[in-house]
Every structure is written in structure tokens, then in C-alpha cells.
Structure 1
Amino acid sequence: MPGRDRVHEQNNATAPSLAKTARRLSLWTRRDALTAFAAVASQTLWPYHLLAQQAEGDATLPRHRQLKVEVTGTLELDPTGQKATTSPFSVNASFDFVERSARDGRIYWTARTFEEATARIVVGQGSTTSALSHSDEVVIESTQQQDDRQIKLTMTRPAEPLTLDESELIKLQAISPAIETWFEDIENRSLTDVWTPDAWSIAAALAIEVVTDNQVQCRLKRRQRGRAEVEVRGTLIGTADNVGTEIALTGTCSVDEASGRLLAASWDIQERRALGPATPGFTARTRLELTDLGTGRWDDASEQTFQQARAAALDAAPSLLVFESKHQGFRLEHSPQWTVIADSTNVAILRLVDQGDLITQAHVTRLQPLAAGTRLTKETYRQDVSSAIGNSGGTIVDVSEFTTSRDYHGLRVTVSAEVSGVAVQWVYVHLSDKDGQRLGWVFTAEQDRLDRLGIEDQTLVDSVEILAAPATANEARAASRDNGASDR
């Protein structure tokens, strides 16, 4: 990308210092901590007529559960793609939820409503708190066994799309119903029996994608009053977020012998995960305590949402997440392959990653508005882009005009160039609404990855909604002074 994008008035942003206060903790750092946490951690009345049909030992009954999570470790960060840095981090999180599980062949379903879902995150000297909004709305999680080693995990909230932060917050370890496949034959096992859980089920339990080397074993330690205590111990190598990970797992599970249901568990998980193109690397230790509090409260509306999600699974489009830029004033929907890297007063940055490869990076900037009812012409925008790329060696190969699904006017200029011997493509996009509010975009991709990019950039642009312009720093200070004066 050219060093200075005069069209979109943006610089390549660098991550703020990790030593800043919690209130100013950078988005990249906060999201990295959430991503790492998700990786190491990732009520209403139940209808009487359903209770009457099911016994207390039925694992499909809604269960009231609590999960406490403590994480300590070191993050490896590279928000600019130029130099990795490290910083200590910790997470303390609490979850109180009711869940209902079911199984359709190789798909394991869980529906949850949360009474509490909060995490206190500290990175360096900065800290922040993350919480789930609309916690009373049902969150649907599905874990599909792809083969004997691999799973596909999806998460959606039908009533209100999850943000990326929320998705990472509640992508939890040690609560997948797939864990209970470890204990399906527990009644018939002898004391000191040792067995190895299926690799795919371990991936599901740890909320990772693939387990390639499985050295985890379960051992029946004791039985007491209808409960079996099982020790879980071992190591594994796998893939998470398309990067390698190594995990050492130690846990003790209390299991209902009649149903194989997990009643309580204590886990100690140590993980080293590689740095990815849009995700942090980390070395971390996680302690989890899961408690089952008995039958939970569940209503007909929640059950209907759950069953509709299961019925629609075969025809459903991939779940989308929501990102709202507080600094640039826009909202968009994106697939989980997109990751938000930064949201600052200068620029919002997103990266698209596929199978561990960086496919494209998008810079989005709020521009000064045009007069209401006016539009930038193709020729004017072409000239602006030509000036912006200057002597970088780029060549404009296409200029087009389009309209988004929200009836925004769009201009798109495609530039071919070579940077350090690598053929790249820059795509400049200009969006404006009827009131003259504008956004500028720049997508950067290597030429040999354009086939994998497809129309992902166009889909992202089409989903955007331009919001009210954020207040400038001067406006914010003036408003603060005015509020102070009115208080007096």
C-alpha cells in the first residue's frame, strides 16, 4: 500500500502502548486477550409438560451450570505485521447459565441463556471488562464432527447477532456436550480402567478445530453414591484458528453413572499457541471449575428458538458477526474469517484469514461529508486515486460504479502494483449516502490469493451501514465543558 493514502486520509496505524489505562486499552490488545481467553478458557420456567416426560437423569434436560475461569500467561502480539511484542495477561471470568443439549447424528447442539457472562481482562498495565449483551436471549452452539480428528464449531444468537468480542467471550472450554461421549460406558468400567477419548471429542471439549496427536487418557478412580470420579490427563497437538497449538491437560470429572452427565469438573490446561496473521500467539495456564446446579429453568420461547435452529441447520447460511466502529461511525456484518485488528480515531482495520493465510487487509476511514445530494464522479475518484498512489508503481486497471443494498453510492478503483517483488492488488472503495456521509476503504491483497478472496471484499462493503458521524476530539471536549457548566 502507498505510504500515504491521501484519498482516505489514513496512516498505517500502530497499536497503542499496552501500558495505558484500562479505559484506553487498545482494541487490538483487548480483542487479543479475548481471543486467547476463548482459546484457553473459548431463566425462565421449563415447561411442565416436558418435565413430566423426562426423568431427572435425562441428559437432555436443561441444566443450570456455573463456570469459573482463571487465566494467566503471556501474549505475543503483532498488530502491524512488522514486529511481534509480548505482554503478560490475565483473565478472571464468571459464567452462570442454563443449557439444553441435543444430538442429531454427528452434530452436538447446545442452547444457552446466561444469567452472568463477564470477564475481567488485564494486559500489561491496561485492563478492561467484557460482558455479554442480551444475555437472556438464546445462544445456539453446534459442534459437528467432521472426521475422527476434526470438528466444526459454530455459534449464533438468532434474536441479535453476536459481536466478535461476545463470540470469543462465550467460546468456552470444558462445557461441550461432546465431553459426555467420554463417559458413555462408565457403568460398565472397572476401577482403574484407562481409555483414550476420541480425538474429535477432545477438540470439541477444548474448542479447537483439529487434534492431530492425541495422548490424553481417562482413568476411573472411584465410585460413590451413583457418581464416578474420572481423572483426565495427557498432552495433545492440534490446530486452532488455523495455527498450531500444544496443550497439556489435567482434570477431574464427577459423572452421573446412570446418564453419563458431567456434574462437576476441575481443569488445569496449559497451552502454547503460535502467532497467527490475525490472532495472537500465547503461552497460558487456565484453571476452570464447572458446577452443575441441577435442573434449570427454560421456557417455551427458548425451546422454540432451539428447535428452529436445529431444523434450519441444513439450509442455514454461515453465522455472521457484527462489528460497530465507535471511532469511524459504521456498522457491518462479517463472517468469522474476518478479524477486527484496530478501531482508532485514524482508521478501522480488518483482516481476512483463510486456512492460516492472510488473504486481505481492509482499512476503513470516515471522510469529510459531501454536500447533501451530491456524488463523487468516477473520473474525479480515479484522479484522486492516481494522485494517492503517486510514484509507487501502481497501475489503475479498472474503475466501476455500484449501489449497495442500502442504496449507498459506491465507486471502486482497482490498482495492480508490485511491492518488494510481490505482485499485489489495491482496491479503493468510496461509499456515500444521500446525505453526503462517506466512508473510504482500501483493500490490500497479494495477486496469487485473489481467487481465495473471491467477492468477500464486496460482500463486506455491501453489509455496511453508515452511522452518525463520531464527535471529534474538540467537539467531545466542548460537550464535556458544557455538561460541566450545566451541572453547576
Structure 2
Amino acid sequence: MLLILAVCNLPVFAAEKIELAEPETDARVKLVRSHVQVSGQLQTAAGGGKKISLKLSADAQYRFFERRLNGAGRDAETLRSVRLYRFANNEAEVTPADAPAGAAPKKSTLKLPETKHLIVAHGRREGAMLYSPTATLTYDQLDLISTPGDSLSVLSLLPREGIAAGDSWKPETWAVQMLCGVEAMTKGEITCKLEEADASSARVTFTGSSEGATLGAPTTVQLTGEFTFDRVAKLMTRVQMKQTETRAIGAAKPGLEVTASVTLERSLADENSEAKLLSDAAVADLPVEPAAEMQFLRFESWGTRFYHDRDWHQFHQTNDVAVLRLVEHGSLLAQVNVSPIPPAAAGSHTSAEQFQTDIRQSLGKRLKSITKAESLKPRNANDRRFLFRVAVDGEADGVPMTWFYHLCAAPNGQQVSFVFAVETKNLEKFNNRDLSLVRLLEFIPARQAAK
């Protein structure tokens, strides 16, 4: 009894507070492995208010070296890194939801080419902005490496101050938005809890949700998971996360009802490995803020390529046409259809008169008038392309429209057309952006295109 009283009278100390932080100036190179499995449904508009549902399953795996870079600002912009990808592969299967049992799915595989292996991740509220400082990514390549549970974004979960076992904290709103990847978040919260810790490691669980819009489409995201932190190495070493996203059909993207299961593993890289390719000298010239051209995406097909900013989204492509849509601040601003034209004889092209005749036949009763037809000036003395632009006013389904038709031809007779469609009321916002896109068109020599 006396012993019990003695023990009860001992002073009671508060639980030890510990730090769970990776230094912002941490220049160590990490080896990152990520496995993302996605399942659920896509929805596309079928007209008349109907939609088509497609079953989706995808399995993506990544391995890359990564090191932190100095921040570019406050909040999300404190997070920057450079990555050297050694493996990036996504295998997906899509099947109509109403397909009979045993129907063969449509399979696709995406890989990151050798020339796109160096990637910079730049923290933004809406998620990590990824670009290559050495080569221009395509839309599909950017989509491949943009994943839930991004290794830079998960660092936003770490607490800003010391915590004790059993304590909970809520990351700031920018961290919630960055991790959930919602472009315009209206509401969101994540709660983290330090479940257990010893001298060497700590385990944290987290759960949360966000609401808002992505590319103008209403979006909700729910996530739950846990991560392990190595207290000795000061390193988040493992993340397991499940993220469920529901997104309405948008102007540039299909609707989503999908769940992603993410396993992320991070370890300190062997200094004698390829990690040395991310040395101080190797990353010294990376800009704090990337130039606009570094963020461009590349479209390449039919022996042509052009470059565009990220407000243009690849909506659909077949063997005969590619459709890109321009979305700004969540609203559809314009659409462009890019199509190959039968080649002309070398040194020739479809005549301006014939092109305008084709336009009249294509638009039919929708056409009111051709307001301007002009040849565009070459970029320089070596530019031998023929570029011809026709501006047309008309109406579609009672809506005043303006179309910009472009005939583009190479000296060898190769030809392609661009048809931009803009609601007339949006012409000022559109600001002749068709010109900047078409002027960047290149015709690829046959041998280069075959690579």
C-alpha cells in the first residue's frame, strides 16, 4: 500500500514532443518507388443529357531519384524538387460498363522516353507542377507522371511544430488542396494523428476530404492513409494512401468515379549510384521560376508537331482528327480540330480559293460571311511554310460563332488544317491565340518522325 502511494505521488510529465520534419535545405538524394493502382469508372457525354460509362483499371509503377531544391516562395512554393526518372510505366484497361461478360478491354501502355527523364516538380496550391528542363513533354507524358500521392505533395502533411504521441494536427488549407489536387478548392480539411513513436521512428495516420472544381467540373476527393517517419534519418520513408475522387463530366475531361491505392517508398540513395547525376553542379542552373516555354506541351502526329500552353487540353484523337479544348478559369473558351489534308505536289499546296470553297461547303447554313482571308508572314527567311488564315462569322444552334481556319503546307506538299471555334462573345478573351499556336507548327522530316 505504501509503495502504491509512493508511485502515485511521483510527478507526472507531459508526453514528449518530437519533431517530424525534413529540412527545406535538404540536398540529400532519395530513391523513390511508387505503385499506383486505380479502379472505377469514367463517364463521357453522349448527347441529349445522356452519358456513357466506362470501366477503368490501371496499374502504374515509378522509380526515380529526387532531391529538394530551394523554395520559390511561401506555402506550396516552398516545395520544389528535381527528379531523375529511371522507370515510369502505366498499363490501363477500359471497357464499356454495359459490355457483355468476357468482352475484351481496350488496353494502353504509357512509358516515359529517355529524353524526358529529368523532371522538376514545382509546388503549387493545385498540385505539383511538373516539367522537363531538357525536353518538352506531351500531354500523355505529363498525365503519366501526374499521380495521386505525389512524393513532393505528401511532405505538406508534416507538422510545423513538435507533437506528442496521440496528438492530432490539421495541415494548412494550401496543403490540403495540393495533396488532393483540386484546382479550385471551396472546402477541405485533413486531420493527422501521431499514433505511436519511439526513438527511431514514428507512425502517423491521416484522413480528409476536399470539395471544389477541376477544369470547371465539380470535384470531391476523399483520402485516408498513414506514413512512417524515420526520426534518425529525418525522412518520411513510407506512405500508404487511398484516394477516392468523384468528378462531373467537364468541358475538357471525362467524369470520374475512381479510387487510387498508392504505396510510396523513399530511402536515401547510394552516393555511388545514379544519384550523383543530381549533384549540386548538375542542378545549379535550374531556374527558380520556369520560363513559359518550359511549361509548354508538345503535340505530335501526322508528321507535324506544335507546342501549346497548358490551358489547351487534348480532348479526343482519332486517325483523322485531334480535338483540343482551351479552358480558362474553369470555362471553355475555344476548341481546335487539327486534321491532316491530302498532300499536294512538292512545291505546291491547296489554293486559297479552293480552301475557302471547302469552308463554305463545310459550314453550310451556319456561315454568314468570310470576314478576312490572309497569308501569314513567315517567321524568318528560312521559313518556307505556306500559312493561310480565314476568319468566318456564323451561327451554331442559335449561338453567334467565329471560326478561324488555317491551311498549313510544307515545301514538300505535306498539309494540315486547324479549325478554331470560338463563341463570338469570347473573341476578346481568346485574343487571337490561334496565331501563337499555328506559328509554332513544324513539319517533321520523315526520318525524324519515324524515330
**Given the alignment, which residue of 298, 306, 316 partners 1:322?**
298
How far is the alpha carbon of 1:135 from its aligned partner?
A: 6.5
1:143 aligns with 2:117: no
Hey, what's the Cα distance between the residues in 1 that align with 2:282 and 2:50? Answer: 46
CA spacing shift, 1:82–1:393, aligned 2, 3 Å:
farther
Change (3 A) 1:81 1:207: farther
1:446 aligned partner: 423
Query: Percentage identity across aligned positions?
Result: 24
Question: Secondary structure of the equivalent of 1:202?
Answer: helix
- The residue aligned with 2:203 is 229
1:205-228 deviation per Cα after TM superposition (whole angstroms, max 9, x unaligned)? 233334321231011100023211
Q: How does 1:168-187 map to 2 (within 5 A)?
A: 168-185=143-160
**Structure 2 matches for 1:120-269, cutoff 5 A?**
120-124=91-95, 125-134=105-114, 137-144=117-124, 150-151=125-126, 153-185=128-160, 188-257=162-231, 261-269=235-243
133 and 409 in structure 1: CA distance in 2 versus 1, 3 angstrom threshold: same
Instruction: Tell me the distance in 1 between the aligned counterparts of 2:357 and 2:92.
Output: 46
Using CA pairs under 8 Å that are at least 6 residues apart, name the structure with larger relative contact order, 1 or 2: 1
Change (3 A) 1:237 1:82: closer
Structure-2 change in CA distance of 1:376 and 1:270 (3 Å): closer
User: In the aligned structure 2, how far is the partner of 1:134 from the partner of 1:78?
Assistant: 36
Contact residue 140 and residue 306 of structure 1 kept, 8 A: no
The aligned residue for residue 419 of structure 1 is: 396
Distance 1:118 1:225 in 2: 37
1:317, CA displacement in angstroms? 4.3
2:37 to 44, 61, 70: 70
- Residue 377 of structure 1 and its aligned partner are, at CA, apart by 4.6
Cα deviation digits, residues 126-160 of structure 1 (max 9, x gap) = 1111111116731111013xxxxx44642211222
CA contact (8 A) 1:171 1:207 kept: no
Does residue 410 (structure 1) correspond to residue 387 (structure 2)? The answer is yes
1:443 shift after superposition: 1.3
Q: Which aligned pairs between 1:239-388 and structure 2 lie closer than 5 A?
A: 239-257=213-231, 261-296=235-270, 297-300=274-277, 303-304=280-281, 306-311=283-288, 313=289, 316-317=292-293, 319-325=295-301, 328-388=302-362
TM-score, length-normalised on structure 1? 0.77
Bigger-Rg structure (1/2): 2
Q: What is the CA–CA distance in structure 2 between the aligned matches of 1:363 and 1:399, rounded to whole Å?
A: 19
Counterpart amino acid of 1:439? Answer: V
Give the Cα separation in 1 of the matches to 2:396 and 2:215.
28
**Which range is displaced more, 84-93 or 399-408?**
399-408
Indicate the residue corresponding to 2:11 in structure 1. none
TM-score, normalization by structure 2? 0.82
Q: Give the drift of 1:293.
A: 2.7
C-alpha deviation, 1:185, in angstroms: 4.1
Unaligned 5+ residue runs, structure 1?
1-54, 145-149, 471-488
1:268 offset after TM fit, Å?
1.1
Is 1:119 the equivalent of 2:90? yes
Structure 2 residue runs without a partner (length 5+): 1-21, 96-104
Q: Which amino acid aligns with 1:97?
A: F
Distance in 1 separating the partners of 2:29 and 2:119: 14
Alignment of structure 1 residues 21-60 onto 2, 5 Å: 59-60=26-27
Richer in strand (by share): 2
SS at match of 1:459: helix
Q: Deviations over 1:41-64 (max 9, x none)?
A: xxxxxxxxxxxxxx9997431100
AA aligned opposite 1:424: M
The CA distance in 2 between the partners of 1:416 and 1:469, in whole Å, is: 37
The offset of 1:323, in angstroms, is 1.4
Deviates more, 1:297-306 or 1:261-270: 297-306
- 3-state SS of 1:412 partner: strand
Query: Do structure 1's residue 109 and structure 2's residue 80 form an aligned pair?
Result: yes
Deviation (angstroms), 1:351:
1.5
- The residue type paired with residue 122 of structure 1 is E
1:92 aligns with 2:59: yes
Partner amino acid for 1:332? F
In structure 2, distance between residues paired with 1:84 and 1:456: 31
In the TM superposition, what is the alpha-carbon distance from 1:318 to its structure 2 partner?
5.8
Deviation at 1:202, TM superposition (A): 2.0
Alignment deviations for residues 227-256 of structure 1 (CA, whole Å, 9 cap, x no partner): 111110122213333422111111111113
Q: Match of 1:434, as an amino acid?
A: P
Query: AA paired with 2:44?
Result: L
Equivalent-residue separation in structure 2 for 1:442 and 1:58 (angstroms): 49
RMSD: 2.7
Q: Which letter does structure 1 place at the counterpart of 2:92?
A: I
Q: Secondary structure at the match of 2:41?
A: strand
- Aligned equivalents of 1:229, 1:355: Cα separation in 2: 39
> 1:386-397 alignment to 2 at 5 Å?
386-397=360-371
User: Given that residues 199 and 231 in structure 2 are in contact (C-alpha distance below 8 angstroms), is that contact kept between their aligned partners in structure 1?
Assistant: no
Note the C-alpha offset of 1:101. 1.2
Contact 1:116 1:135 in 2 (8 A): no
- 4+ aligned runs moved over 4 Å, structure 1: 55-58, 79-83, 300-305, 314-318
C-alpha distance in structure 2 between counterparts of 1:58 and 1:259, whole Å: 14
| Aligned-residue offset at 1:102 | 2.4
Cα distance in structure 2, aligned partners of 1:56 and 1:396: 61
Question: How many angstroms does 1:342 deviate by?
Answer: 2.8
**Alpha-carbon shift at residue 380 of structure 1 (Å):** 4.3
